[in-house]
Structure 1
């Protein structure tokens, strides 16, 4: 395989990269990208390694001695899952982060990328949200445990940089979607849930689809393959304690998203909004100027990305 042309000392050609969470939405995309660029990707299935087990994780990293670690493993879910299971959203994510980041340092891994979430920012943060908005106000209550765990991960990365000089960095992606997404209606995020709801309504000949909330909150969506491109760029070129927002810099209402999904899927019925259900954060648009200055811009449009994701999911059925 041809080695990557990049000669950055932060992630040199032929680097061996351990991807934690390689079967998930983010981890699988990062794995695809790294492999395509000529890097050697190291992985372990959940049955072989529980990343919450600090001793086992450190043992693996000492054995493999990767040049870098991408921490994409996390317990994730939508509003319903976060409201129903706050304990594992807090505790599992804390355990994974403590285990992988501390284990990487103990094993002498020189480079690490921790992937967080845009939900770390205050519910009513000024828009677009810059990285300096962190810890400036109350969080969205529906996903506070998950957000607190991710904030702790940022703090852990910063602490290892400050105390040990570790070249560890953090990235905060916006709402993601794409191949590998979770389409379970009980635990999925909004975009795959909409795809499945409209698909099943079309299949069953339903006259309408009832959706949660008012449809007025605004969200930003990034295809996971674009995120993977950004991750590789950061691994090669970024080395600072401040987290980096990863998004497309544009948002739309949930109602507009629903209309786009309905058109892609081909459902001709009505959309009804159940306003007794929670909306969540009113708006969440990231300021991506820090990433843009590094030369990043997304290449996959929303409608195109939804269409390819829908086709991927259909093939899996």
Structure 2
């Protein structure tokens, strides 16, 4: 099987490539200078040139809460254009199988119960990342429409929970929570800072999965593609509070200071936990516990710092 991976230079993509190498699979992961996914004609030409058996669409403009608030236009328009171009190119080139990576941001805001796949487009989105979420919802629906019009084309969407791991971004202006916390606590320990600030009261809950587990899940799904649901959550099925993430990271990094809550800062949704019923029935579950995942991510961070 020849696999074409978009977004192969991103955190998720690099974990997918790494896992593919361990399985000795042929995977093509072009950089943006090889093919600009915002260019529909070039994207279609590239797919026809490479003739993949399956496409994994993992490319996108991504970032944390600050980046999403600052640049909603880019997060909506660029993610929609990339997704539309890849899906349309795949259909035009006759690629029968495609895995699209969605996001838990696709779900309605303020949901206390675990989020079920049928809730996508079922309510108001979280305003702090609405542009990104709209694009992700639209591409998932586009995949569904392609398969509905012609069942020979099986275009399916995986909705992962929040992710972290090796190859992550640690710059606070663009990073997600766990890498930002790692960077913040590392600097605080080095500076002997007496306290570290936490946005909000720290009680908001999040589900973060180690990215290597998602990579393993994707190839598990490829091996069982026919049995894979057209829309499926991939996550842990349990979550932690923001305070608990800070506490786990502090233990791994060795920061012994105090935490101070900044109640003036935005915190996003109070809870975002995926329902993993379909995933469990499909036969897959994540393997990496929180501290082991943070430890591996911190080791990667230290290697970059060195």
Alignment partner, residue 48 of structure 1: 34
Q: Secondary structure of 1:245's partner?
A: strand
User: 1:242 deviation in Å?
Assistant: 3.7
Task: Report 1:154-165 matches (<5 A).
Answer: 154-165=140-151
Alignment partner, residue 191 of structure 2: 204
Alignment partner, residue 5 of structure 1: none
Gap change, CA 1:126 and 1:212, over 3 Å in 2:
closer
Q: Secondary structure of 1:260's partner?
A: helix
Normalized against structure 2, the TM-score is what?
0.97
| Structure 2, gaps ≥5 residues long | none
Q: Deviations over 1:283-309 (max 9, x none)?
A: 011011111112111111110000010
**Native 8 Å contact 2:19 2:216 kept in 1:** yes
Q: Are 1:65 and 2:51 an aligned pair?
A: yes
Q: Secondary structure of 1:314's partner?
A: helix
**Native 8 Å contact 2:155 2:230 kept in 1:** no
* Distance in 2 between residues matched to 1:164 and 1:28, nearest whole Å: 32
Flag as ranges the 4+ runs of structure 1 deviating above 6 A.
Answer: none
| Alignment length (residue pairs) | 303
**Native 8 Å contact 1:157 1:241 kept in 2:** no
2:81 paired residue among 68, 92, 95: 95
Q: Are 1:75 and 2:65 an aligned pair?
A: no
* Distance in 1 between residues matched to 2:275 and 2:301, nearest whole Å: 31
- Higher alpha-carbon deviation: 140-149 or 287-296: 287-296
User: 1:222 deviation in Å?
Assistant: 0.5
CA-based RMSD of the aligned residues comes to 1.1
**Native 8 Å contact 2:112 2:271 kept in 1:** no
* Distance in 1 between residues matched to 2:214 and 2:295, nearest whole Å: 18
Q: Deviations over 1:202-234 (max 9, x none)?
A: 111211111211101001111001001111122
* Distance in 2 between residues matched to 1:285 and 1:75, nearest whole Å: 23
User: 1:250 deviation in Å?
Assistant: 1.0
User: 1:35 deviation in Å?
Assistant: 2.3
Alignment partner, residue 206 of structure 2: 219
**Native 8 Å contact 1:125 1:137 kept in 2:** no
Q: Deviations over 1:118-173 (max 9, x none)?
A: 01000123511111111221111100000000000111101110112211100000
- Higher alpha-carbon deviation: 173-182 or 133-142: 133-142
**Native 8 Å contact 1:198 1:262 kept in 2:** yes
2:255 paired residue among 267, 286, 292: 267
